[in-house]
Amino acid sequence: MVSRVEHPAASYKKIFESVEELNEPIPAVITGVIPSWLGGSLLRMGPGLFEVGDEHFQHLFDGQALLHKFDLKNGQVTYYRKFIRTDAYVRAMTENRVVITEFGTAAYPDPCKNIFSRFFTYFRGIEVTDNCLVNVYPIGEDFYAVTETNYITKVDPDSLETLKKVDLCKYLSVNGVTAHPHTEQDGTLYNIGNCFGKNMSLAYNIVKIPPVPKDKSDPIEKSQVLVQLPSSERLKPSYVHSFGMTDNYFVFVEQPVKINLLKFLSAWSFRGATYMDCFEPNASMGTWFHLASKEPAGYLSSHKFRTSAFNLFHHINAYEDEGFIVVDLCAWKGHEFVYNYLYLANVKEEWEEVKKAAARAPQPEVRRYVLPLDIHREDQGKNLVSLSYTTATAVLHSDGTIWLEPEVLFSGPRQAFEFPQINYSKCCGKKYSFAYGLGLNHFIPDRIVKLNVQTKETWVWQEEDSYPSEPLFVPSPGATEEDDGVLLSIVVKPGAQRPGSLLVLDARNLTELARAEVNTIIPITLHGTYKP
């Protein structure tokens, strides 16, 4: 899987540039044959506006939210995109400047105000952003664009119109939730976010949104906190981007990237600080794994799993097997925050500079951890993992903690397997064989990868000067094999006549089945969903 492709022309810079929304869907030119059964919409979220007036957004996760749609219908494909009308976007467009502080970009008072107005604006505090650029997914029968704050935005998946801003704090005790929920077959949705626990300490709440009620009311209004997990540091919760779920358990990884609550609150009382300014590494804590049961919901406080420090953004899958929980994830070694390397000034550098920065950054690995559920004091000092197919270990220490060492499923210098996907409907929480991911070459997305998590075999799709996005798996109708289906990815080839395209790959071997090309650049997208 290791990419030896170089990018000296630095054409990847184009995927980090602003675009305009479209007035109407535009038809695509199709090459190859799209499977006749593949009909629906690929919805994707990402940043689409990287500056407002004379002010530039600083971080990859700051650009204003742009919703993309490739529609597949009757053998034809169209492409459409619209900016989400968030408060952050509307007010920025109205005032022609950054009005609400984003992840790595601070908003400042209006320079047109007099000095007294500006002074009081500084001390009024920062508004929480609703810039929902990270993902789009269904809750019940509706679709929501999301980021990681308490605000989500209801959108129309057909017209791409913005419908309603929703504040989750009205229904749940959370400061925000991840952009990566888990959904069961009946539509029940689970997510996790940090919250204020007992005695003003921080904790993590796993929340549940039920399926659509019989009366067709909004399921968000029936949301509830299922279980609360403690934070290892009272005023410094860990950053959480995703979590794992098996048939019977939730898996939460508490990483050594911390949110300093005192910095966070002070940033809210004095302008000029950003979300990124509130993160700090904990060099001594390592990484903790926490388990909670689903039915009945409860925190397994007696199970204390610890390992060496790593950053975690995306879980791949987790499942139960013979009294163990197997957790596969995309890790970045060490306690330094990977997001420090995702400022736009870094990723838009010339190729040699991009490579130098990536060489300093935490290094990526795909890892498998195995957590034993049955623990006995007399097993102290022994490896508790008895699964024959993994080299991962779990050793019980005298203080009651269990030290985990992973099996490495893939590792390549400055080559990441990220934005992982699986055959979710068939394999989420189940033993599985295949994961699909976006290959990052020194942080630049330049290939699509299939990984056999049992044999470690890899398959790669890659083209010169082409920049794909997270590949979404769509199963073939009636499929019995896990990898019987297609992968959908938006690919940008800046020098091409039609630089934006929807790529359709055979998931079994990553051979190209078709592509639908449009005459427009498409900026980087982060996550999304396929709507049949």
Query: What would the pLDDT profile of 360-417 be if each residue is shown by its tens digit?
Result: 999 999 999 999 999 987 789 999 999 999 999 999 999 999 999 999 999 999 999 9
Lowest mean pLDDT among 114-118, 137-141, 236-240: 114-118
Lowest mean pLDDT among 152-156, 245-249, 410-414: 410-414
- Note whether residue 527 is domain-resident: no
314 marked ligand binding residue: yes
- Average the pLDDT over 464-477 and give the result: 98
Q: Which domain holds residue 248?
A: 11-487+494-521
315 marked ligand binding residue: no
Strand spans (E) along 186-323 = 189-196, 202-209, 224-230, 244-245, 249-254, 257-259, 279-281, 287-293, 298-299, 304-307, 310-321
**CA distances for 462 relative to 3, 204, 287, 486, 527, angstroms:** 9, 40, 34, 16, 20
**High-pLDDT (> 90) share of the chain, %:** 90
Lowest mean pLDDT among 172-176, 441-445, 484-488: 172-176
Exposed, middle or buried: residue 346 (CB in 10 Å: 0-12, 13-18, 19+)?
middle
pLDDT (0 to 100) of residue 377: 77
pLDDT (0 to 100) of residue 123: 42
- Note whether residue 288 is domain-resident: yes
**High-pLDDT (> 70) share of the chain, %:** 95
**CA distances for 397 relative to 305, 376, 379, 404, angstroms:** 10, 11, 9, 11
- Note whether residue 531 is domain-resident: no
- Note whether residue 532 is domain-resident: no
**pLDDT digits 0-9 by tens, 34-72:** 999 999 999 999 999 999 999 999 999 999 999 999 999
For the record, the structure tokens of 67 come out as 């919703």
Residue type, 52: V
Question: What is the torsional sign of CA 249, 253, 259, 260?
Answer: positive
Residue 122 has pLDDT above 50, yes or no: no
pLDDT (0 to 100) of residue 263: 83
Percentages helix, strand, coil for the chain, rounded to the nearest 5? 15, 40, 45
Helix (H, G, I), strand (E, B) or coil at 223: coil
- Note whether residue 526 is domain-resident: no
What are the phi and psi torsion angles at 264 (to 5°)?
-60, -45
- Note whether residue 399 is domain-resident: yes
Strand spans (E) along 55-175 = 55-56, 64-73, 76-83, 135-139, 142-146, 151-155, 162-167
Average per-residue pLDDT for the chain: 94
180 marked ligand binding residue: yes
Which residues, in sequence order, are bridge partners of residue 436?
A: 421, 450
pTM of the model: 0.96
Residue 116 has pLDDT above 50, yes or no: no
- Note whether residue 220 is domain-resident: yes
241 marked ligand binding residue: yes
**pLDDT digits 0-9 by tens, 56-65:** 999 999 999 9
Q: pLDDT class for 19, splitting at 50, 70, 90?
A: very high
The total domain count for the chain is 1
Whether residue 273 contacts residue 264, with contact meaning beta carbons closer than 8 Å, is answered with no
User: How many CA within 13 A on the CB side of residue 65?
Assistant: 34
- Average the pLDDT over 88-99 and give the result: 97
Residue 429: which of 309, 313, 331, 326 has the closest Cα? 326
- Note whether residue 451 is domain-resident: yes
Cβ count near 188 (within 10 Å): 13
Lowest mean pLDDT among 121-130, 215-224, 415-424: 121-130
Whether residue 384 contacts residue 395, with contact meaning beta carbons closer than 8 Å, is answered with yes
In what helix (H) or strand (E) does residue 261 lie, and over which residues does it extend? helix 261-267
- Average the pLDDT over 435-448 and give the result: 98
